[in-house]
Amino acid sequence: MKVQNKIIVVTGAGSGMGRELTLLLLSKQAKVIGIDIKETGLKETAALAGNRKDSLATLVADITDRQAVEKIFSSAIVQFGHVDGIINNAGIIQPFVKLNALAYETIERVMNINFYGTLYMIKTFLPHLLSRPEAHIVNISSMGGFLPVPGQTVYGASKAAVKLLTEGLNSELSETNVKVTVVFPGAVNTNITTNSGLAMPTEPVSQSKPMKILSASKAAQIIVYGMERDRYRVLVGNDAKFMDYFYQFNPKAAAKLITKKMKGLLSV
């Protein structure tokens, strides 16, 4: 689905990839409804929109609250009359600790934002999207959604759930006007650690050659490119592409490689 003249909802629009997705969509002549739990971030995104700010509506909302998500939908319809697509980008990571040391409260927060927030958005908007001539749903999973990352086991589980939710939805909607894309970012330069309420790690990821980190703006370009071409899945970054191939070829060896690289971050 080409995004020009379309109305797209983006969650997590106040920073990182969500902000870059919002700005890129606006530059491609789309109208955007940016959602974030932090008003300050949304105001910064709106300021960066420049002469396209009239095509941007911002809403402060908690996507883990189903009623709040329903209000997002109502506000979107009041503001623009219809919606053509949603990009479920909002997400958090967990502290870099083993499952045994992870509090249930943290587990629930990660699952609520990453999985249930995505689910609520889909369930709320899907009936409307099915009524549009064409529509698109983009769900951001993670390289950790197909590859185990020690110290991010619950985060990975939440993103694996997003992966299968998206793939199942794709199959269910295969004969409709709604296209569905799942995205697997690798290492992207965002402030997800801070947004997750975590301190920045002080230890190096590994003693080997450091991973190349993709800019959030480049990641946004790859995602929108895949969206406009109705891609089934989008791998963001050479690390995601390599590990996707490696994991399919030899999952145990791939898991060992990631364990080695992430050893310096695993605190417990």
205 contact partners, CB below 8 Å, separation of at least 6: 211, 261, 262, 264, 265
pTM score above 0.85: yes
CB 136 within 8 A of CB 230: yes
Q: What average pLDDT does the segment 133-141 reach?
A: 98
**Nearest residue to 195 (alpha-carbon basis) of 105, 114, 87:** 114
Query: What is the CATH code of the structural domain delimited by 7-265?
Result: 3.40.50.720
**Between 219 and 267, where is the model more confident?**
219
**Residue 245 appears among annotated catalytic residues:** no
pLDDT score for 261: 84
**pLDDT 10s digits, 95-119:** 999 999 999 999 999 999 999 999 9
Report percent pLDDT > 70 for the chain.
91
pLDDT score for 243: 96
CA 26 from centroid of its chain's CA atoms: 18
Angle at 195 between CA 142 and CA 33, to 5 degrees: 80
pLDDT score for 263: 76
Q: What average pLDDT does the segment 28-48 reach?
A: 98
Question: Which residues pair with residue 235 across a beta bridge?
Answer: 184
Q: Active site residue: 104, 116, 120, 155, which one? A: 155
The owner of tokens 């991010």 is 152
Q: Where are the beta strands (DSSP E) in the chain?
A: 7-11, 31-36, 56-60, 85-88, 135-140, 178-185, 188-189, 214-215, 233-236
Q: What is the mean pLDDT of the chain?
A: 92
CA 35 from centroid of its chain's CA atoms: 12
* Residue 260: φ, ψ to 5°: -65, -45
Q: Where are the beta strands (DSSP E) in 70-128?
A: 85-88
**pLDDT 10s digits, 229-257:** 999 999 999 999 999 999 999 999 999 99
Q: Where are the domains of the chain?
A: 7-265
pLDDT band at 205 (very low <50, low <70, confident <90, very high): very low
